[in-house]
Structure 1
Amino acid sequence: MSNFDRREFIKATAGAGAIGLSGLAGCTGGPSGGDETETTTEGSSGTTEDSKGTTTGSDTTHVGMVYATGGLGDGSFNDQAQSGIQQAREDFDLEFSESQPGAVSEFGNYQQQYAGSSNPDYDLVSCIGYLHADSLSETAANYPEQDFQIVDETVDADNVGSYVFREHEGSYLVGVLAAHLTSMSFSAGAGSTKPDSTNVGFVGGRESALIQKFEAGFTAGVKATNDDIDVQTSYIGSFNDTTAGQEAALSMYNSGSDIVFHAAGNTGTGVFQAAQDKGRFAIGVDRDQSVTKSSYADVILASMVKRVDTAVYNAAEAKVNGNFETGTTTTLGLQDDGVACVYGDQLESEIPEDVRTAVSDARQSIIDGDTSVPQNPSDA
């Protein structure tokens, strides 16, 4: 996966989050082209679907995907995870099933369904999102012979492989970007800044140590660029409340923010709506949201891309090859291309070269160890 062109990969898989699609584009830019069998089972408020590849046999690897709340179609975190398992299906003798829990309370049930299944017998159960941690700790203990993956959190169990990211590093870069642009008169697409109001915002989903890493990195990047810039912060308490996201961002824009960065899943769609409403700018998260949320591309300056797809793909590949490691934590940061600042598809060419150079220099400084990025907002 590290050799894939990031933007072409994201474009090829944009829009593939809708459940029920049978031929989904991978990194080659085309569908798999094979006949696939799909079945969907409705849960109490979630769904489970089998998505089978074109190759079958006794050596076929079976993966069960349990997504975060908010579901597929978020153009962000869950869709990024799905892209990874789709690519693994393209590349290996692998089949996967996927579930979309409607609430955190359903996580354990879906985890146990996969772990207890004998037809098929799942080789790996991939749990997407830090909110899986509590239920997975219990499930893993009850199914000691089952291998699990968790993305975005560490679960201390001998049969769990944990994958986490240095979100604060990528968030620092978009903070640098926001600070430079809010300090100047800048217009592009449908947005513009007000140089007399040096003010930016951050909208988070649920307040947690994980989401605070985004806030901390963003704030640190802003302050390192210009300590006089204020950062407004709001936590919504949900990753799937676009109305609340829009209201929070509108309040920030009305209070002088030129640019709002979100780490809020589908709630962030409301941030993009507010940016268009007010003729300001936004920064997306997890995927290149100028592509996955293309109707807002005229206000999306950049996205702090988190390669959840890489984590899912690498785990699936390791399982296929018989070297999936459990009882360990894999961390992906800037140096590993696990996170990145990806400029908006429409607005990249409008961003001044000296600003892009400043972001590039900040990236290298972090990789070289010259800049240490805090993970707690109180340290930013």
Structure 2
Amino acid sequence: MLLASCEAEAEDPCRARIAYVVDTGDLDDQSYVASGWNGVLQGAAALELPDECVRAELTNSTDAAVWGARIDELVAEGFDIIVTKSSTMGEGTRAAALRHPDVSFIGTDQFQETTIPNVVGIVFREDIGGFLAGALAGMTTETDVVGVVLGCPSISAIPRFAIGYWNGARHVNPDVTVLAEFHEDDIATCFSDPTWGAASAEQMVDMQADVVFAAAGGTGTGALIAACERDARVIGVDFDQYQTLPEVRECILSSSTKSIVSAVADLIADAERGALPAGNYAGGSALAPFHDLAHLVSAENAMMLEDIRLQLEAGTLDPCATVPELGEANDMAFCATVAP
């Protein structure tokens, strides 16, 4: 009698395959891109996925046709959860989701005007985060001059940060002068230009700014380091930059954080169990701990910041009130699209 035997197929170790797709930027920017990647890694760890089930794709292209084609290739390879970096990828992410209805898509800073069943956009109130940072700057400045270095104004989150920062500083200190500088180049460079960021921060310090906030990815990293080297105090962004940017630990007051890491990780878990909440997902904004400079924030000011936070959450304080000095940036913020 002839006996046939077959080798059992090895079990696939990947209960999910997750790809983080980035148009422009670096995983080690110590700010925005790194936050999304850390969220992917945290989500993968919670699912106990081996390294082979997780991939970062840095396409170095602002052309949606380029990174959209890469998404198609990833899906063909079996990746079933795709996380895309930012608002600049929103339209292309939705197009990819329509091409691949069985794949879950998670987009950071991607407001969903219409609901697609397999897409969720994480949205944040940068005006709230900016307001808290501005209030902290306004109450700790000794010169009554504070600054903010920003990325591209065409990315609506950036004007929201600027408007919130300006309003927050003026809310606690009506006499404060706010210096704001936007990077006017295209998306390919405006968040990855630390040299420009450093020069902008140095100019602000020369104009007597003693607190500098930066919301500009890698560009902002250059600004924070330069301001710190000039003995100014700084405020980081996206996540606690005291932890990620040791060069500024001695001078960082706090960071205006977004819950990107936890939001991405939580949504990965939802996607894996087939319960992705399509539409918009509200992420949180808060100030990081004061760390080594806690002594500069009095108990009274700490209580004031907490009261401001509660008013912002309750909607009794408007962080996105028009700032005439910011001109057309007011029209580019689209605060209403991310309001709760």
Contact 2:236 2:255 in 1 (8 A): yes
Choose which of 50, 55, 59 in structure 2 pairs with 1:101: 59
Q: Under a length normalisation based on structure 2, what TM-score does the superposition of the two structures give?
A: 0.83
Structure 1 residues 257-266 or 146-155, which shifts more?
146-155
**Matching of residues 179-194 of structure 1 within 5 Å:** 179-182=138-141
**Matching of residues 136-285 of structure 1 within 5 Å:** 136-155=93-112, 156=114, 158=116, 159-182=118-141, 195=142, 197-208=143-154, 209-236=156-183, 237=185, 238-285=190-237
Deviations 1:97-152 (A, max 9, x none): 111222322x5433433334466422221101111123324333433443311110
Q: Under a length normalisation based on structure 1, what TM-score does the superposition of the two structures give?
A: 0.75
Deviations 1:130-187 (A, max 9, x none): 11123324333433443311110224452321111112112211111100111xxxxx
Deviations 1:30-89 (A, max 9, x none): xxxxxxxxxxxxxxxxxxxxxxxxxx7377011111135221111111111122111112
Contact 1:59 1:93 in 2 (8 A): no
Aligned mates of 1:249, 1:63 — CA distance in 2:
37
Whether 2:296 is the aligned partner of 1:353: answer: no
**Matching of residues 114-125 of structure 1 within 5 Å:** 114-117=71-74, 120-125=77-82
Aligned mates of 1:118, 1:240 — CA distance in 2:
29
Give me the identity figure in percent.
25
Change (3 A) 1:108 1:376: farther
Deviations 1:275-300 (A, max 9, x none): 12321111100011111001211111
Aligned to 1:374: 320
**Aligned amino acid, residue 255 of structure 1:** M
Q: Secondary structure at the match of 2:292?
A: coil
Aligned to 2:238: 286
Q: Residue 356 of structure 1: CA displacement?
A: 1.7
**Aligned amino acid, residue 180 of structure 2:** T
Aligned mates of 1:218, 1:205 — CA distance in 2:
14
**Aligned amino acid, residue 62 of structure 1:** R
Whether 2:39 is the aligned partner of 1:79: answer: no
Q: Secondary structure at the match of 2:110?
A: coil
Aligned mates of 1:356, 1:284 — CA distance in 2:
18
Q: Secondary structure at the match of 1:163?
A: strand
Q: Residue 321 of structure 1: CA displacement?
A: 1.4
Aligned mates of 2:111, 2:167 — CA distance in 1:
25
Q: Secondary structure at the match of 1:134?
A: helix
Aligned mates of 1:266, 1:174 — CA distance in 2:
19
Aligned mates of 2:37, 2:191 — CA distance in 1:
17
Contact 2:140 2:296 in 1 (8 A): no
Aligned to 1:301: 253
Q: Give the structure with the higher percent helix.
A: 2
Q: Residue 377 of structure 1: CA displacement?
A: 4.4
Q: Secondary structure at the match of 2:127?
A: helix
**Aligned amino acid, residue 235 of structure 2:** I
**Aligned amino acid, residue 373 of structure 1:** P
Contact 1:216 1:374 in 2 (8 A): yes
Contact 1:281 1:299 in 2 (8 A): yes
Q: Residue 315 of structure 1: CA displacement?
A: 1.4
Q: Secondary structure at the match of 2:316?
A: coil
Aligned to 2:282: 331
Aligned to 1:340: 286
Contact 2:22 2:60 in 1 (8 A): no
Structure 1 residues 310-319 or 113-122, which shifts more?
113-122
**Aligned amino acid, residue 254 of structure 1:** D
Deviations 1:334-367 (A, max 9, x none): xxxx111013432224432222222111112222
Q: Residue 375 of structure 1: CA displacement?
A: 6.8
Structure 1 unmatched ranges of 5 or more: 1-55, 183-194, 333-337
Aligned mates of 2:56, 2:70 — CA distance in 1:
12
